[in-house]
């Protein structure tokens, strides 16, 4: 799915559309879809109370996502989807490290096979000369 997102960010981008506009459209579209799903499932759309405890994580998540998507569209436009995929590997690696450090998880044998395949894919992406 990471690769599909990278390629869609390149191929489906309208000519001349700025990264800020692409990020805003993506986040607004996601909000609409999430809103429809929450309404259909009867889930709460907003926190039950507005305190520093609920507002701060919401504000941080909003800010992080806004910055991420602007950078995502800008970097994919400049680097191309294949080169940008390197960042996806870093996200997976960070998730692995967090699971080991924070949750004290112990990887199964299949994890090591998946890690080897991921590192091999990263090598292939990095060893390819840009067009």
Could you give the number of structural domains in the chain? 2
- Where does the pLDDT of residue 82 fall: very low under 50, low under 70, confident under 90, or very high at 90 and above? confident
Q: Which domain holds residue 112?
A: 80-131
Same-domain check for residues 59 and 110: no
Encode pLDDT of 13-63 as tens digits: 999 999 999 999 999 999 999 889 988 988 876 777 777 788 888 889 999
pTM of the model: 0.69
Same-domain check for residues 72 and 18: yes
Same-domain check for residues 123 and 59: no
Which residues, 6 or more positions from 113, have their beta carbon under 8 angstroms from its beta carbon?
Answer: none
Which residues, 6 or more positions from 72, have their beta carbon under 8 angstroms from its beta carbon?
Answer: 9, 23, 84
Same-domain check for residues 93 and 113: yes
Q: What is the mean pLDDT of residues 120-128?
A: 79
Is the separation of the CB atoms in 10 and 77 below 8 Å? yes
Structure tokens at 125: 């992406």
Same-domain check for residues 27 and 74: yes
Same-domain check for residues 48 and 87: no
- Where does the pLDDT of residue 121 fall: very low under 50, low under 70, confident under 90, or very high at 90 and above? confident
pLDDT for the residue 25: 93
For 50-57, the CB contacts below 8 A with 24+ separation are none
Same-domain check for residues 104 and 75: no
Same-domain check for residues 29 and 45: yes
CA geometry: angle 81, 9, 92, nearest 5 deg: 60
pLDDT for the residue 97: 85
pLDDT for the residue 75: 92
Same-domain check for residues 18 and 47: yes
User: Given CA atoms 105, 110, 114, 120 in this order, what sign does their dihedral have?
Assistant: positive
Encode pLDDT of 99-113 as tens digits: 888 888 888 888 889
């Amino acid at each position: 799915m990471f690769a599909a997102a990278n390629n869609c960010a390149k191929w489906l981008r309208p000519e001349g559309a700025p990264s800020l506009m692409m990020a805003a459209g993506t986040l607004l579209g996601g909000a609409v879809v999430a809103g429809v799903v929450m309404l259909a499932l009867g889930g709460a759309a907003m926190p039950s109370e507005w305190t520093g405890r609920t507002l701060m994580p919401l504000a941080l998540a909003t800010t992080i996502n806004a910055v991420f998507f602007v950078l995502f569209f800008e970097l994919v436009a400049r680097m191309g989807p294949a080169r940008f995929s390197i960042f996806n590997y870093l996200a997976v690696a960070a998730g692995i490290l967090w699971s080991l450090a924070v949750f004290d998880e112990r990887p199964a044998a299949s994890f090591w096979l998946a890690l080897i395949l991921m590192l091999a894919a990263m090598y292939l992406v990095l060893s390819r000369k840009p067009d």
